[in-house]
Amino acid sequence: MLELKQGLFVESTELLRETIFEQAVILIAEYNEKGALGFTINKSFGRTLNELEEFKHSIAFPIYTGGPVDQEHLYFVHQRPDVIKEGVSISNGIYLGGNFQQAVEAINNRIITTIDLKIFIGYCGWDTGELEAEIEEGSWTVEEGMKEKVFMNW
């Protein structure tokens, strides 16, 4: 079995059928002694950035449901540190967050597209040992990931 770390993916198993995590593919964006944080990369939020009041002047850009925690905020991952400053490296050229104003400007100027950046509302979070216990019980499988998987249009 793969050792859990940021940059890997966890995919739900049949044990999570008929839950919010059914068929979920989650990118682990942070993993440390406090636990894990990730984003569901394959579930559309059903609205685009310009449909949110504070971004009504932006172009249409998809938003994904990152997870059930803190659905009041937007989060993002990208592979363009040359355009978006202050992001934190996850692995394999994928960055977590950064200057969101720069990201929105790059989207509106069509410098960045969906193959460069993915926006989430909410996130998935586990306290120390929780994700490991869920993997042990068979709720998740751990997968190596390529960054192309993150930026696919699911």
For each of the domains in the chain, give its residue range(s) and CATH number, in order of start: 9-150 (3.40.1740.10)
Q: Which residues lie across from 117 on neighbouring strands?
A: 78
Per-residue pLDDT tens digits for 133-146 = 999 999 999 998 78
When pLDDT is averaged across residues 74-103 and rounded to a whole number, the result is 97
The model's confidence at residue 1, banded by pLDDT at 50, 70 and 90, is low
Which residue pairs, CB below 8 angstroms and at least 24 apart, start in 136-140? 137/15, 138/13, 138/15, 139/12, 139/13, 139/15, 139/16, 139/21, 140/10, 140/11, 140/12, 140/13, 140/16
Percent of the chain topping pLDDT 90:
92
pLDDT at 148: 87
pLDDT at 147: 82
Residue of 31, 146, 144, 41 lying closest to 92 (CA atoms)? 146
Pair 9, 145: CB distance under 8 Å: yes
Per-residue pLDDT tens digits for 8-50 = 999 999 999 999 999 999 999 999 999 999 999 999 999 999 9
Percent of the chain topping pLDDT 70:
99
H-helix or E-strand containing 44? strand 44-48
Instruction: State both tokens at 70.
Output: 């803190």
pLDDT at 153: 80
From residue 127, alpha-carbon distances to 32, 56, 66, 132 in Å are: 10, 35, 17, 10
pLDDT at 146: 80
Residue 102 has pLDDT above 90, yes or no: yes
When pLDDT is averaged across residues 107-126 and rounded to a whole number, the result is 97
